[in-house]
Structure 1
Amino acid sequence: MEKGYVQVYTGNGKGKTTAALGLSLRAVCAGKKVYFAQFVKGMKYSELNAEKYLPGFSMKQYGSECFIFSEPSEEDIRLGNEGLKECADILSSGDYDVVVLDEINIALYYNLFTVDKVIEAIDNRAAGVEVILTGRNAHERIIEKADLVTEMKEIKHYYEKGVEARVGIEK
């Protein structure tokens, strides 16, 4: 791609990671290479199997367990910072056409690293690299930086009726 844009999927509604995965599938099917980084997440999700099925798709998690109902541990902070450094290198390498920073907005919200470091990584990316940032509570500076921002708004969710995350649908 001549120019890579910055896209943000945020909001309280379901579908941010799913939208980024859909975009990733489209890119891979068009012959592009995708790196999908999952911040904060360390749990097993079905999409972790995508590398087996999609040539040109790479995925790595930069988290231990989900801490969003508590405070991040030193290990969470360490993993997040290592992940951001690795992703900054990937962004600047030009080895991938699309780089997804899944749940990076949550990582910022919990102060795993600074917004300045994220913006620096975006600014130093190779020409033509599309960057996707997901997660609730997108920082205002990330929204300003973005070329496209989509807010997922929850209107109704079956989770409120006690439906747990289902394999192949939510995880």
Structure 2
Amino acid sequence: MEKGYVHVYTGNGKGKTTAALGLSLRAVCAGKKVYFGQFIKGMKYSELESQKFLPNFEIHQFGRNCFIFNKPTEEDIRLAKEGLETCRKILSGGLYDIVVLDELNIAVYYNLFTIDEAIEVIKNRVPHVEVIVTGRYADEKLIEFADLVTEMKEIKHYYKKGVPARKGIEN
């Protein structure tokens, strides 16, 4: 790829991380190298096993073993900032063709770092690197900066009927 574009997958509907994982699978199958950084997340998700099955796919989490529901802790902030610094190095290193910044929008929403810091990290990437940013509440600055923005809109979800996250589907 000569020029990498910036994608944003946002909205309240299910499927943002799943879409990024799908694009990652497609890229790996095309011989590309993918780095998948998960902000906020520290829980055990099935996709963490993907490195065992997919060559050229690397995934890391930058969160605790719980989700932020109220005010973030100092630990949440520290982990997110360390994750952003790791992603800065990955994006400017040029070793990967695709870099996913999963739940970066939520990290910004919870003020773990600023949207300006996030955009600066993305801007300073090697030009061929494609970037995918996921998470609800995408900041308007990111939407303006991005080349592609997709909004996932929830119409109906079985979670509201009490169906918990299922392994291999939501988890």
Normalising by the residue count of structure 2, what TM-score does the alignment of the two structures yield?
A: 0.99
In 1, Cα distance between equivalents of 2:83 and 2:119: 15
Could you tell me how far 1:51 is from its partner in structure 2? Answer: 0.4
Paired residues in the alignment total: 171
In 1, Cα distance between equivalents of 2:108 and 2:65: 17
2:54 is aligned to 54
Amino acid in structure 1 at the alignment position of 2:167: V
Could you tell me how far 1:116 is from its partner in structure 2? Answer: 1.1
Query: After TM superposition, what 4+ stretches of structure 1 lie above 4 angstroms from structure 2?
Result: none
In 1, Cα distance between equivalents of 2:57 and 2:81: 23
Task: Map residues 121-132 of structure 1 onto 2, 5 A cutoff.
Answer: 121-132=121-132
* Gapped regions of structure 1 (runs ≥ 5): none
Q: Percent identity?
A: 73
Task: Map residues 18-167 of structure 1 onto 2, 5 A cutoff.
Answer: 18-167=18-167
Identify the range of structure 1 (64-73 vs 136-145) with the bigger mean alpha-carbon deviation: 64-73
Check the 8 A contact 1:91/1:129 in 2, yes or no. Answer: yes
Deviations 1:29-55 (A, max 9, x none): 000000000000000000000000000
In 1, Cα distance between equivalents of 2:62 and 2:26: 24
Give 3-state SS (helix, strand or coil) of 1:51's partner. Answer: helix
In 2, Cα distance between equivalents of 1:111 and 1:67: 14
* Gapped regions of structure 2 (runs ≥ 5): none
Check the 8 A contact 1:40/1:65 in 2, yes or no. Answer: no
In 2, Cα distance between equivalents of 1:119 and 1:109: 14
Deviations 1:7-65 (A, max 9, x none): 00000000000000000000000000000000000000000000000000000000003
Deviations 1:91-114 (A, max 9, x none): 000000000000000000000001
Amino acid in structure 2 at the alignment position of 1:85: E
Normalising by the residue count of structure 1, what TM-score does the alignment of the two structures yield?
A: 0.99
Q: CA RMSD in A?
A: 0.6
